[in-house]
Amino acid sequence: MAADWAKHDMAFLDGRRLRRPRAAAWSRAMVRETSLSTADLIWPIFVIDGQNERTAIKTMPGVERLSIDLAVAAAKAARDAGIPAMALFPNTPGHMRSEGGEEAFNPGNLMCRALAAIKSAVPDIGLIADVALDEYSSDGQDGLVRDGHVLNDETIAVMVQSALVQAKAGADIIAPSDMMDGRVFAIRQALDQSGFDHVQIMSYAAKYASCFYGPFREAVGTGARLKGDKRTYQMDFANSDEAMREIAQDIDEGADSIMVKPGLPYLDIVRRAKDNFNVPIYAYQVSGEYAMIEFASAAGSFDRQAAMVESLTAFKRAGCDGVLSYFALEAARLLNE
């Protein structure tokens, strides 16, 4: 009876066997739809003051904050591994933070000194500069706060000044991550008028209010300082159509590329963006995603390296043109083997 059923089933399918192309490694390679290369990777690093200084981040095993000299060495390693760009995030000392975030547009701030040092030593690697006030504010918010409200236009004015000093220091891409309305247009206009028309803007166009940012906030020193939450400007994680409106607006304002953040829990947003907009789409495999893989693999839940490669490939399969990942250097070296 079973044999007769099987025979009938195969006849119904006209003899098709979808397992055939999966039977051997060479055949799987031939039909593979998605490829991951070193050119798809962007490496985010955290920068601190000091000389030959590195500090561990307890919630991100294997990731360290680096002093500028070590950040330069990291950039050389990234270039040698074939990584095209790095994203920099400063851990500004507490005594330099303020309610107005004035350190954000100090030409001698930690970010600008790191950009200048890396660009001088490793001119052929792209540098992405984060623009938001949380790394400079005393309250951990991405914008200026008055009477408990995060101010939009006043924040943009400060961000424009920050973007200009970063461009002058050597940033190739300005990446506003604050989610203020209209900031892409204001930054683009200021860059063009100041002779930085060659500097790109990678907008955090769909940045969600997510619990997955926790380790990052520790890394840049904002976690303990944060007063309130960021839900009045970062997106509600229940929304998808709203993300398309945000992306469309940032493209209209002059964004050269857009980013979805976080990554893996938001691959549906990546796919919709890729299907609807003809610009490069990036996603950020954020600190919480990285930490989950690290801690789960340390507990023996799965193979760490396999999880790294599978997760990065998922970004490409969803439609990403590139991925910001703390695994970038390790993944690039593995891809080069």
Strand 149-150 versus strand 145-146 pairing type: antiparallel
**Which of the residues 119, 230, 261, 316 is marked catalytic?**
261
Q: What is the pLDDT of residue 224?
A: 81
Q: Helix, strand or coil for residue 333? A: helix
Contact yes or no for 167/174 (Cβ under 8 A): yes
Q: What pLDDT band is residue 235 in, cutting at 50, 70 and 90?
A: very high
Contact yes or no for 233/255 (Cβ under 8 A): no
At residue 327's C-alpha, the angle toward residues 135 and 294, to 5°, is 90
Q: What is the pLDDT of residue 16?
A: 82
**Which of the residues 119, 207, 230, 316 is marked catalytic?**
207
Q: What pLDDT band is residue 225 in, cutting at 50, 70 and 90?
A: confident
* Exposure string over 56-93, b if 16+ CB within 10 A, otherwise e: ebebbeebbbbbbebbbbbbeebbebebbbbbbbbbbe
Contact yes or no for 21/31 (Cβ under 8 A): yes
Q: Is 236 exposed, middle or buried (0-12, 13-18, 19+ CB in 10 A)?
A: exposed
CA distance 95 to 221: 12
Q: What is the pLDDT of residue 11?
A: 53
Q: Express as a percent the part of the chain with pLDDT over 90.
A: 92
What mean pLDDT is predicted for residues 36-55? 98
What mean pLDDT is predicted for residues 258-280? 98
DSSP annotation of 137: B
Query: Is residue 10 scored above 70 in pLDDT?
Result: no
What mean pLDDT is predicted for residues 195-209? 98
What mean pLDDT is predicted for residues 290-299? 98
Q: What is the pLDDT of residue 223?
A: 79
Query: Is residue 27 scored above 80 in pLDDT?
Result: yes
Averaged pLDDT of the chain: 95
CA distance 108 to 276: 41
User: Hey, what domains does the chain have and what are their CATH numbers?
Assistant: 39-259 (3.20.20.70)
| Segment 107-160, tens digit of pLDDT | 999 999 999 999 999 999 999 999 999 999 999 999 999 999 999 999 999 999
Q: What pLDDT band is residue 208 in, cutting at 50, 70 and 90?
A: very high
Instruction: For residue 207, indicate whether it is catalytic.
Output: yes
CA distance 249 to 254: 9
Q: What is the pLDDT of residue 237?
A: 98
Higher pLDDT pick, 233 / 8: 233
pTM of the complete model beyond 0.85: yes
What mean pLDDT is predicted for residues 57-83? 97
Which amino acid makes up residue 306?
A
Instruction: For residue 261, indicate whether it is catalytic.
Output: yes
Query: Is residue 57 scored above 90 in pLDDT?
Result: yes
CA distance 194 to 56: 38
What mean pLDDT is predicted for residues 186-214? 97
Residue appearing with tokens 């990777």: 41
Query: Is residue 9 scored above 70 in pLDDT?
Result: no
Q: What is the pLDDT of residue 227?
A: 85
What mean pLDDT is predicted for residues 4-15? 59
